[in-house]
Amino acid sequence: MSALDHLPILVVLIPLLTAVICPLFQNGRTAWKLALGAAWSSFAIACMLLHQVLNSGTVRYQLGGWEPPWGIEYRIDVLGGFVLLIVTSIAALVLSYARRSVEDEIRPGRISFFYAAFLLAFSGLAGITVTGDAFNLFVFLEISSLSSYALISAGRDRRSLNAAFQYLIMGSIGATFILIGIGFLYMMTGTLNMDDLAVRLPEVADTRTVRAGFAFLTVGFGLKLALFPLHLWLPNAYAYAPSVVTAFLAATATKVAVYALLRFLLGIFGVGFSLMSMPFDMILIGLGLAGILSASLVAVFQQNVKRMLAYSSVAQIGYIALGIGLASHTGISAAVMHLFNHALMKGALFMSLGAVAYRVGAMHISDFAGLGRRMPFTMAAIAIAGLSLIGIPGTAGFISKWFLVLGTLEQGWWPLAVLILLGSFLALIYVGRILEAAYFGTPKENSAVREAPLSMLIPIWILVIANVYFGLNTELTVGLATQATTDLFEALP
Amino acid sequence: MMFNFAPVLPLLIGAFFAALTRGRVRALLMLATPVVGAVLLYTFTPGTTVPVEWMGLELTPVRVDRLSLLFGYLFHLAAFLGVIYSLHLKDTLQLVASLAYAACAVGAVFAGDLLTLFLYWEALAVTSAALVFARRSERAFAAGLRYLLIQVLSGVLLLAGAIAWAKGGHGLEFGHIGTGSIAGKLIFVAFGIKAGFPLLHNWLTDAYPEATPSGTVFLSAFTTKVAIYSLARGFGGTEMLVYIGAAMACFPIFYAVIANDLRRVLAYSLINQLGFMVVGIGIGTELAINGAVAHAFNDVLFKGLLMMSMGAVLHVTGEMRGSELGGLYKRMPKTAILCMVGAASISAFPLFNGFVSKSMIVTAVLEEGYEWVWLALLFAAAGVFHHAGIKIPFFAFFSHDSKHVKQAHEPPTNMLVAMTIAAALCIGIGCFPGTLYRLLPYPTGYSPYDSSHVLAQMQLLAFSALAFLSLKIYKIYPPELRSVNLDAEWIYRRLVPNAFRHALAAVGRVGNQVRSHSFRLVSSSILALARHHRSEGVLARSWPTGSMVLWVAVLLGTTLLLYYL
Amino acid sequence: MSDKDLKRPKSHLFDNPKNVTRVIRGLLLLCLVLVVLDAVIHRHTAHPWEKVFAFYPMYGFVACVTLVLLAKGLRKLVMRSDDYYGRFEEPPEDGPASRSDDV
């Protein structure tokens, strides 16, 4: 076996081992360099893996050489590869951007630990996307969750402790539910391998145990992905976490939870069970819609910009849930596309907010007054990513909304399409509020705010340009998303 | 990839560089742009299409055939003339907008599918509105906004129609559409707005007189001609168009007679000319379509020439109201003569270009037996001469001496050059119609110059002039008055706002109560919404962990219940 | 015409009433000739009405008179004062409208 065959484990192992090494260095700068190296090499591996998957189909890797279903199998299909690409690319970009922001927001003695926790969270998220084993997935989920509690509590604001505590409670409940769900499935089928589960489940699908397992799993994942009304932990966690953590988690954590949900819904239970015979599709549509409208409205009234965008994330998750709930090829492709596009825009937005926090220090909307002139590049980035969030044609956000609307129209549910557009309109209002303050507000006097440093601007603008690029060239996103969905649909009868 | 947008590219790049450069360099660039574009068009072979797949849609950004090529050449020619005419300008906004506007028009006529057409359609709206805004007066701003609103509405209708059309299983290809389906009707109305159908025409007479002098020259050339092209492609032979066109040819001339702003007179006469083209499209025989397209070509030249001459007057005197002008031939003789060439062309005097195309349409109408329409068109033809042919030059350059005569002078040389080229083309095509006929979509053996045609047309025109003369001598002719004439725009500028106000007032006290109640209802519901969603609202505040867990329990219970059912 | 006129400011073409009369007479003559030609030249016609003697001259004349009379009537119906739709800052009335044009 050559090193290339070990790629699936390497993508997890590199950050995991680096995380262990990081705290050995007292110097935060060294830890950062290590973390950066680990993230970029994982990104490179993710690219290779995706390439491999596209060329020669699903990549399988047996951990320790044990054959499934006894051993743990790593298994990467198009969807997994796609989400892995999102996670690693965002991690690499966020880490490239992180140095100045972390030095500013984290106490000097704890910087090495911070990067260690970051890498742990990252390796957990990456692990979820590559594993083919249900219990292993739970383990990775826990790794990422536990480390993200630590990351959130590292925030400057004392409220971050409270937020992290709440997230801990809710996250643990979610994880427990997921574990219970997996346990039920194991009870009925005697296997933890996902493919195996998928084969054996149909025989026992009508039992109460499986249905209860399904309920625990859906609610557990609903908590993890912050599905309305289980989103209440999210706004505070995002608002008070360090900027780097918010950017990373907002762009990846919920996405990976959605991936895990999709994997269970479609890869294990199958569309027929989870979205057709169970009324989960209606639940997703209802909660998704409620999330879109309610969270967008809350965002409209928010005064804290970071919280505003956190609520907007809840709304965006609503779009994704809605897409899955449509239970059609177009709807699910739209949801998968939105995973990617939302990572692009929220990554860019929260990183820009981090730049503002670095220069201005505060997040109230009035602190943005006149920043259009003081920090032109940062604000331009917010403007473009904001347009993408609204879904203006020519940006990435438009593509996924377009497919989502197409999906609703396909089913003839045009009122849904109208509500989706209403959500876009609300996004227009809250993004407009930021831009209005930035470009038309009068700046506070005697403030010596300058443009953010280049080391922050470059990663931000890479994401911003990606927002526009993927809005115009849709080959990659649309192609991958539709292929991933097709695979999911074809994998099972 | 370059080729996909190729016909648009030269003008678009020109617009881009017009924004960056200044002075002589910009002048040279802008002059070169349409020439390069036209040469590029020459290399295209009819029948080429460039399919592109985008987001699963099969698009054809570029389709070249005889019809689109003719309009392509026409728009490059118009852009060239317009650029010469605006060479003296330093206003970057106007220059960039005019080239971008021309580019969008070219893009629209080469669009092979409805989605691409829609994109250019909306881009046309935005770039052309910039030419109205560039006048930079409060009035122009208001008119520009109204204009933009209606243009965008047209685009939205087009998009809705295009989606419905594609849903109907026809694909997105832009071919013959017809008014049979709902989709067809939507697209028909969208085209109709831009083509100035009766009651949908007000954006034209409202905004064109408010644009800058050179802005109006560009405006009169592109938007409506794109609409004519689209109608010809999508709705050739739709009988309804014959009657719509006849109405368009007739009703504006009444307004043109009494309108005071001379560029508004020209705007009305533009609708009147469009009427002829629409009739031709509605008839749909090869001769009629040829006539309509040829007339569109000629209209760009002579209407451009007239707009240019009026723009020159506006540029020199700052005045466009007929009641305040007159006698300018003493100071602007060249402009006056060039204007009269345009007037003769639009009136379709033999040997001028209007004659060679208008007679095609009239002949086609008679061949197909629409005798009432034929009479209406004759009436319109006489009326054109009356208001555009006589009224425009008469009130601007002759009539009584106005106070402007003292300071007036010839316009800048570049304006005169542009007008001279346009005038030369008007006469050239009028004398050698074969050059234009060769470019038409269908082969034609038509010859406009036989004794019957020429004599009939001369009689019609001469006696129209006689009528003007006698009415003037007996002082029956309505004097030019400072005034506003109500038109269909009154509905949305006055009736609707007033009706709303009156309705509220008329109900009186009861109404007041209802109103205050409804205001209270609205504001209280907004407040309630805000109460729940603003920072400390129930949906936005930070919740205690216990209640979060409660939600989890509720949701788990509900899902379990639902799954077990 | 123009150069000479500029040197001798008062002798413009139509300042002399004789010239106006000449134009009018010219037009009358033209009309007469055209009507006579109608009788002389054999026109091939596509419609019976065209065969009526002096159809086009009559139609042109009547059409235009009707047009103007109707338009005058229309004025009673639709004419409103200049600032009917609200007052706007007028572009400068005298002198070149250079503000907008030469920015």
Residue C12 has pLDDT above 80, yes or no: no
d(CA B66, CA B439): 7
Decide: A471 and A403 in contact? Cβ < 8 Å. Answer: no
| φ, ψ dihedrals at B486, nearest 5° | -70, 140
B248 with B149, same domain: the answer is no
pLDDT value at position B169?
83
B79 with B227, same domain: the answer is yes
CA distance B535 to chain C (A): 43
Assigned domain for A161 exists: no
Chain B residues with CB inside 8 Å of A233's CB? 548
Q: How confident is the model at residue C95 (pLDDT cuts 50, 70, 90)?
A: very low
Structural domains counted in chain C? 2
d(CA A21, CA A17): 6
Mean pLDDT throughout B308-327?
90
pLDDT value at position C13?
74
Mean pLDDT of the residues in chain A: 87
Q: How confident is the model at residue C7 (pLDDT cuts 50, 70, 90)?
A: very low
* Contact between chains at B540 and A283 (C-beta distance less than 8 A): no
Q: Which of B543, B537, B528, B544 is nearest to A303 (CA)?
A: B537
Assigned domain for C95 exists: no
Tokens encoding A452: 């953010």
Structural domains counted in chain B? 3
Chain A residues with CB inside 8 Å of B545's CB? 165-166, 169-170
Of A166, A219, A236, the CB nearest to B559: A219
d(CA B151, CA B125): 5
Q: A-B interface: how many C-beta pairs under 8 angstroms?
A: 87
Beta strands in chain C (DSSP E): 79-80
- Subunits with 3+ Cβ pairs within 8 Å of B are A, C
Share of chain A above pLDDT 70, in %: 98
Structural domains counted in chain A? 1
Chain A residues with CB inside 8 Å of B556's CB? 177, 215-216, 219
d(CA B29, CA B18): 7
Assigned domain for B57 exists: yes
The 8-class DSSP code of residue A197 comes to: H
Q: Which of B313, B361, B366, B459 best tests the C interface by mutation, with the highest count of C CBs <10 A?
A: B459
B281 with B300, same domain: the answer is yes
Angle between helices A111-130 and A7-21 (to 10 degrees): 160
Chain A residues with CB inside 8 Å of B530's CB? 301
* Contact between chains at B398 and C14 (C-beta distance less than 8 A): yes
Q: How many Cα atoms sit within 13 Å of A45 on the Cβ side?
A: 25
Range of the domain at C76: 45-80
Of B537, B543, B556, the CB nearest to A215: B556
Q: Would you call A62 helix, strand, or coil by DSSP?
A: strand
Residue B29's identity, in one-letter code, is L
Residue C101 has pLDDT above 50, yes or no: no
Of A280, A283, A298, the CB nearest to B540: A298
Q: Which of C6, C24, C56, C83 best tests the B interface by mutation, with the highest count of B CBs <10 A?
A: C56
Residue A456 has pLDDT above 60, yes or no: yes
pLDDT value at position B93?
86
Q: Which of A297, A311, A402, A476 best tests the B interface by mutation, with the highest count of B CBs <10 A?
A: A297
Decide: A153 and A164 in contact? Cβ < 8 Å. Answer: yes
Q: Which of B66, B15, B76 is nearest to B45 (CA)?
A: B66
**Can you spell out the DSSP letters for B442-492?**
S--------HHHHHHHHHHHHHHHHHHHHHHHTT-SPPP-S-EE--THHII
The 8-class DSSP code of residue A66 comes to: P
pLDDT value at position B555?
85
B223 with B248, same domain: the answer is no
C30 with C52, same domain: the answer is no
Range of the domain at A353: 279-493
Decide: B203 and B270 in contact? Cβ < 8 Å. Answer: no
The helix (run of H) or strand (run of E) holding residue A59 is: strand A59-62
C37 with C56, same domain: the answer is no
* Contact between chains at B478 and C99 (C-beta distance less than 8 A): no
Residue A377 has pLDDT above 60, yes or no: yes
Q: Which of B22, B250, B460, B480 best tests the C interface by mutation, with the highest count of C CBs <10 A?
A: B460
Residue B4 has pLDDT above 60, yes or no: no
C31 with C3, same domain: the answer is yes
Chain A residues with CB inside 8 Å of B540's CB? 235, 298, 301-302, 311
pLDDT value at position B535?
65
d(CA B157, CA B164): 10
Greater pLDDT, A449 or A32: A32
Other beta carbons less than 10 A from residue A179's beta carbon:
19
Share of chain A above pLDDT 90, in %: 28
Intra-chain end-to-end CA distance of chain C, in Å? 34
* Contact between chains at C60 and B461 (C-beta distance less than 8 A): yes
The helix (run of H) or strand (run of E) holding residue A76 is: strand A73-76
d(CA A28, CA A39): 16
Q: How confident is the model at residue A492 (pLDDT cuts 50, 70, 90)?
A: low
d(CA A57, CA A60): 9
Decide: A464 and A348 in contact? Cβ < 8 Å. Answer: yes
Decide: A377 and A451 in contact? Cβ < 8 Å. Answer: yes
B31 with B176, same domain: the answer is yes
d(CA A422, CA A429): 11
* Among candidate residues B483, B517, B543, the one where a domain is terminated: B483
The 8-class DSSP code of residue C14 comes to: G
| φ, ψ dihedrals at B62, nearest 5° | -135, 125
Q: A156-192 pLDDT, tens per residue?
A: 878 888 888 888 988 999 999 999 999 998 988 888 8
pLDDT value at position B536?
67
C50 with C74, same domain: the answer is yes
CA distance B215 to chain C (A): 10
Of B258, B466, B484, the CB nearest to C85: B484
d(CA B497, CA B476): 37
Tokens encoding A90: 């965002």
Mean pLDDT throughout A285-292?
90
H-assigned helices in A391-474: 396-410, 414-440, 454-472
pLDDT value at position C92?
43
> Which residues, 6 or more positions from A423, have their beta carbon under 8 angstroms from its beta carbon?
A292, A293, A296, A315, A318, A319
- Determine the Cα angle at A90 with ends A87 and A96, to 5°: 135
Q: How confident is the model at residue A247 (pLDDT cuts 50, 70, 90)?
A: very high
Decide: A485 and A329 in contact? Cβ < 8 Å. Answer: yes
Q: A411-437 pLDDT, tens per residue?
A: 888 888 888 888 888 888 888 888 888
B362 with B418, same domain: the answer is yes
d(CA A462, CA C83): 54
C36 with C18, same domain: the answer is yes
Q: B57-95 pLDDT, tens per residue?
A: 788 888 998 899 999 999 999 999 999 999 998 888 899
Residue tagged 């050489």 (tokens): A65
Chain B residues with CB inside 8 Å of A280's CB? 559, 563
B181 with B43, same domain: the answer is yes
pLDDT value at position C100?
41
Assigned domain for A462 exists: yes
Q: Which of B118, B543, B545, B549 best tests the A interface by mutation, with the highest count of A CBs <10 A?
A: B545
Determine C/A contact with 3+ CB pairs under 8 A as the test: no
Q: B10-48 pLDDT, tens per residue?
A: 898 999 888 888 888 999 999 999 999 998 888 888 888
| φ, ψ dihedrals at B368, nearest 5° | -85, 0
B114 with B23, same domain: the answer is yes
Q: Which of A221, A199, A261 is nearest to A69 (CA)?
A: A199
Share of chain B above pLDDT 90, in %: 44
The helix (run of H) or strand (run of E) holding residue B57 is: strand B57-63
Mean pLDDT of the residues in chain B: 88
Mean pLDDT throughout B353-361?
92
Q: Would you call A465 helix, strand, or coil by DSSP?
A: helix
- Range in A277-291, A349-363, B362-376, C81-95 with the lowest mean pLDDT: C81-95
Chain B residues with CB inside 8 Å of A474's CB? 54-55
Decide: C43 and C50 in contact? Cβ < 8 Å. Answer: yes
Greater pLDDT, A270 or A127: A127
The helix (run of H) or strand (run of E) holding residue A354 is: helix A329-359
B212 with B136, same domain: the answer is yes
Q: What is the CA radius of gyration of chain C?
A: 23
Among B109-123, B158-172, B523-537, the range of highest mean pLDDT: B109-123
* Contact between chains at B545 and A166 (C-beta distance less than 8 A): yes
d(CA A81, CA A57): 11
CA distance A80 to chain B (A): 22
C4 with C33, same domain: the answer is yes
* Contact between chains at B324 and C75 (C-beta distance less than 8 A): no
Greater pLDDT, A24 or C81: A24
Whether ipTM > 0.85 holds is no
pLDDT value at position A376?
85
C36 with C58, same domain: the answer is no
* Contact between chains at C43 and B88 (C-beta distance less than 8 A): no
Of C37, C46, C58, the CB nearest to B366: C46
- C window 19-58, beta carbon within 8 A of B: 24, 27-28, 30-31, 34-35, 37-38, 41, 43-47, 49-50, 54, 56-58
Q: Which of B54, B529, B542 best tests the A interface by mutation, with the highest count of A CBs <10 A?
A: B542
Pairing of strands A59-62, A73-76: antiparallel
Assigned domain for A428 exists: yes
Question: Which residues share a beta bridge with A177?
Answer: none
Other beta carbons less than 10 A from residue C29's beta carbon:
10
Range of the domain at B518: 507-564
CA distance A298 to chain B (A): 4
Tokens encoding A149: 């509690």
Decide: B356 and B297 in contact? Cβ < 8 Å. Answer: no
* Contact between chains at C2 and B333 (C-beta distance less than 8 A): yes
B201 with B160, same domain: the answer is yes
Q: Which of A184, A278, A168, A274 is nearest to A223 (CA)?
A: A168
Assigned domain for C31 exists: yes
Q: Which of A226, A23, A235 is nearest to A120 (CA)?
A: A23
Question: Which residues share a beta bridge with A74?
Answer: A61, A131
C50 with C35, same domain: the answer is no
* Contact between chains at C80 and B484 (C-beta distance less than 8 A): yes
Pick the residue from chain B with its C-alpha nearest to A163: B542
Question: Which residues share a beta bridge with B50?
Answer: B62
Chain C residues with CB inside 8 Å of B89's CB? 101-102
Decide: A363 and A357 in contact? Cβ < 8 Å. Answer: yes
Query: Cα dihedral angle (B10, B11, B17, B21), rounded to 10 degrees?
Result: 120
Other beta carbons less than 10 A from residue C6's beta carbon:
12
Distances from the Cα of A231 to the Cαs of A174, A291, B533, B535, B548, in angstroms? Answer: 12, 9, 15, 16, 9
C37 with C53, same domain: the answer is no
Other beta carbons less than 10 A from residue B525's beta carbon:
10
pLDDT value at position B427?
94
* b/e A83-110 (16+ beta carbons within 10 angstroms → b): bbbbbbbbbbbbbbbbbbbbebbbeeee
CA distance C102 to chain B (A): 5
Beta strands in B315-454 (DSSP E): none
Q: Which of A438, A464, A435, A304 is nearest to A374 (CA)?
A: A438
